[in-house]
């Protein structure tokens, strides 16, 4: 796997900002401007044919604010290698869509838009995927209040606390040991 990092460093010398090897995981940190080209190279030339996930980090208070994280895996030819590719994205700029490289990326990019508000240049479908259309906020941003924001759609979620007492997955308070607190043990009594 170190060979993959070396290949990327040699091929994209100025665009590879750093490489990290930690506990058997390999990460390459790249410039935003070359990220799409590097990701396509990883698929086409290095055999990373499986996009596991795309996620984003909010570095609220820092610039660039966003960090895009691509989890790749090479399945072909028995390679079985994992690679993480990261780049920083300034607030207000769009990330490049990789849905032309891995069609499954569309789903992940829609989720990043829905939860963080990160838009993707080249993504054909920017509909929300988890929140309802018209929802004006992005709930995974660090500046989103923990208590949430008022909504005019109370039927979307619980308006009161969900009852848990006696439920099938709730342990019972007792001085007995763990086996007696476990919900399934109540059925055996």
When mean pLDDT is compared across 24-38, 88-102, 175-189, the lowest value belongs to: 175-189
Cβ-contact 9, 30 below 8 angstroms? no
Mean per-residue pLDDT for 177-182?
61
- Range with the poorest average pLDDT among 31-35, 157-161, 173-177: 157-161
Residue 188 has pLDDT above 80, yes or no: no
3-class state of residue 104 by DSSP: coil
CB 172 within 8 A of CB 181: yes
Mean pLDDT computed over 17-36? 94
CA distance 165 to 52: 38
- pLDDT higher than threshold 60 for residue 1: no
Check whether 36 has a pLDDT greater than 70: yes
CATH classification code of 2-170: 3.30.460.80
Inform me whether the pLDDT recorded for 104 exceeds 80.
yes
121 membership: H or E segment, kind and range: strand 120-121
Q: Report domain extents, the chain.
A: 2-170
Q: Kind of pairing, strands 50-58 and 81-89?
A: unpaired
Residue-wise pLDDT tens digits, 151-160: 666 555 555 5
The whole-number average pLDDT for the span 67-74 is: 97
Average pLDDT of the residues in 21-34: 93
Query: How does the average pLDDT of the chain come out, rounded?
Result: 85
Run of H or E including 55: strand 50-58
């Amino acid at each position: 796997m170190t060979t993959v990092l070396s290949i990327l460093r040699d091929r994209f010398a100025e665009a590879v900002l750093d490489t990290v090897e930690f506990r058997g995981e390999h990460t390459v940190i790249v410039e935003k401007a070359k990220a799409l080209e590097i990701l396509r190279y990883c698929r086409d030339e290095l055999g990373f044919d499986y996009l596991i996930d795309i996620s984003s980090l909010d570095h609220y208070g820092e610039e660039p604010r966003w960090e895009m994280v691509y989890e790749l895996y090479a399945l072909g030819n028995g390679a079985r290698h994992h690679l993480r590719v990261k780049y920083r994205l300034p607030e207000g700029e769009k990330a490049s869509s990789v849905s032309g490289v891995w069609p499954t990326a569309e789903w992940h990019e829609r989720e990043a838009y829905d939860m963080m508000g990160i838009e993707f240049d080249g993504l054909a479908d920017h509909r929300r995927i988890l929140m309802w259309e018209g929802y004006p906020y992005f709930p995974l941003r660090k500046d989103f209040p923990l208590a949430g924001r008022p909504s005019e759609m109370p039927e979307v979620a619980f308006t009161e606390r969900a009852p848990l007492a006696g439920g099938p997955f709730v342990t019972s308070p007792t001085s007995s040991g763990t086996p007696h607190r476990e919900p399934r043990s109540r059925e055996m009594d």
